[in-house]
């Protein structure tokens, strides 16, 4: 299935700014509200179901014998128009 990017933003931010963005998303998820992403004249509103699939990924990209780029990715996924099941498994984040 082809991928269509509805919104994208990438910028260097302080840890405090990133925490604030994540806190806003967490508050919206907790209250059952829609999540609206806006940057300039670009905007998208999404309404995650009660049980979306939550994916957490830690990656290292680069040569095996040298320094690379590290990342932590958080992703919510659900079927469009569907309720979403949420795959099992216990996740802990410290």
Give the model confidence (pLDDT) of 4-21 as tens digits.
999 999 999 999 999 999
Q: Is the same domain home to 12 and 43?
A: yes
Statement: residue 26 has pLDDT above 70? yes
- pTM exceeds 0.85 for this model: no
Task: Return the higher-pLDDT residue of 40 and 81.
Answer: 40
| Length of the chain, in residues | 94
Question: Which structural domain, as residue segments, surrounds residue 54?
Answer: 49-87
Task: Return the higher-pLDDT residue of 61 and 90.
Answer: 61
Q: For 42-89, write each residue's pLDDT tens digit.
A: 999 999 999 999 999 999 998 888 889 999 999 999 998 765 555 556
Q: Is the same domain home to 40 and 60?
A: no
Q: At a CB cut-off of 8 Å and minimum separation 6, what does 42 contact?
A: 7
């Amino acid at each position: 299935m082809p991928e269509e990017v509805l919104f994208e933003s990438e910028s260097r931010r302080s840890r405090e700014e990133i925490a604030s963005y994540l806190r806003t998303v967490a508050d919206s998820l907790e209250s059952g509200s829609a999540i609206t992403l806006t940057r300039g004249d670009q905007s998208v509103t999404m309404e995650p179901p009660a049980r979306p699939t939550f994916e957490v990924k830690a990656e290292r990209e680069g040569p095996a014998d040298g320094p690379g780029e590290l990342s932590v990715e958080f992703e919510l996924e659900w079927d469009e128009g569907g309720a979403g099941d949420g795959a099992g498994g216990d996740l802990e984040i410290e």
